[in-house]
Amino acid sequence: MGKSYFGTDGIRGKTNAGVMTAAVAMKVGQAAGRRFLRGDHRHRVVIGKDTRLSGYMLESAMVAGFTSVGMDVILLGPMPTPAVALLTREMRADVGVMISASHNPYEDNGIKLFGPDGFKLSDEDELAIEAMLGEELPLAPSADIGRARRIDDARGRYIHAVKSSLPDSIRLDGLKIVVDCANGAAYQVAPSAFWELGAEIVAVGVSPNGKNINDKVGSTHLDLVQETVVASGADIGIALDGDADRLIVVDEQGQIVDGDQLMALIGSQWADQGRLAGGGVVATVMSNLGLERFLQGRGLNLVRTKVGDRHVLEAMRSGGYNVGGEQSGHMILLDHATTGDGTVAALQVLAALVRSGKRASELLHLFDPVPQLLKNVRFGGGKPLDDNRVKAVIADAEAALAGKGRLVIRPSGTEPVIRVMAEGDDAGDVEAAVSAICAAVAEAAA
């Protein structure tokens, strides 16, 4: 049975419409609460959120849902997604909730759920919760309704955990760092963590007003951090997204360092230190061929998964890997976090900078990406990829790129779009392959 509410990263949508209303949020709280009422102890849930205006509404609705089935609620306030995962485990909560739509604009919001181990829920748990959303659920007796309270030390707990991911010998004294928090969940904790380790901080994207999250700031809008790094003479720029589980870096010249380069750096450095588990790194099908070749040159392997940090994490856990991520900046370091954590990953990058004594531009560009091109083809219905003409064009493109490139063609999971990506050593071959396939798909869909 497929899912109607949960996508690849929780429940997400435009607020006050569809699946993202206060009524649905309350029902999710009731269903998740019932799912995790296990044993006779006093049950608790921790709830964090990013800085979206709708966070207040959804937070209140979920408090009502959880308390109505007998769960106590601990409210963290604005906190990164990885902080919620951490505190779910550290505070022995039965379930954790992050209210966020990540890098989406403020009009959207989402609900991410974590189990007591701090990991995102399994398909089995999500399907069980979905099944309960259409049912009339039993409520707690009046005497057993849950209580809700806010805690004041959540930020301090997370900052301490983040700093503890570095050895005591590593300090950031003398580094000037631009930190762009996307007017999102990390606007307080990330600059504080870097500053407490000795860095000079230039903070941008730290003035949330409910509507400016991810608005021309953060890891998906890099102009501001690039300009600020160059103008301020900073050593490096750190750009997070709205819930701070993504990281993109900018070197001192304003050049972008994406998730592939960061995985190359952390993976190779951890291998040199004897810390890398699994003999390689886990990434998605979208990671550049240059990363794969770089790792192979170091005797390391690259395991590829479907798009989505959830799939990366599943492969990491099943294969015994501790470094994984996405080109878009999700960085999962299982030695330190149970989900993507941009701040923790940034500290690994900064530690490498300190140890090397090099400039960021010298250290962080470890391989030359091969030409890569992604185009989307919108279609009205049917299955264009099943058309024999499309199959023939794809086969011709695969033959043309054989041994010197690759194709990734996949339907979007959220909209009627076919995504066509090619990469290879020759930019002309890449352009020709993508153009031919897109034309064939468009014709088949007409």
CA–chain centroid gap for 268, Å, is 22
Instruction: Write out the two tokens for 196.
Output: 């407490």
**24 closest CA partner among 11, 35, 37:** 11
Name the nearest CA neighbour of 380 among 443, 314, 315: 443
> What count of residues does the chain have?
446
What number of other Cβ atoms are within 10 A of residue 401's Cβ?
Answer: 20
Is 165 catalytic? The answer is: no
Q: Regarding beta strands 6-7 and 72-78, do their DSSP bridges make them parallel or antiparallel, or are they unpaired?
A: unpaired
Among candidate residues 54, 100, 102, 287, the one labeled active-site is: 102
What are the b/e assignments for 313-344, b being 16+ CB within 10 Å?
bbbbbeeebbbbbbbbbbbbbbebbbbbbbbb
Q: Which of 363, 283, 356 is nearest to 323 (CA)?
A: 283
Distance between CA atoms of residues 50 and 186, nearest Å: 8
Q: What angle do CA 275, 323, 83 make, to 5 degrees?
A: 105
Residues 6 or more apart in contact with residue 138 via CB below 8 angstroms: 34, 69
Q: Can you read off the two tokens belonging to residue 372?
A: 């890569």
- Asked whether 321 and 315 are in contact (CB, 8 A), the reply is yes
Task: Give the residue numbers annotated as catalytic, written as ranges.
Answer: 102
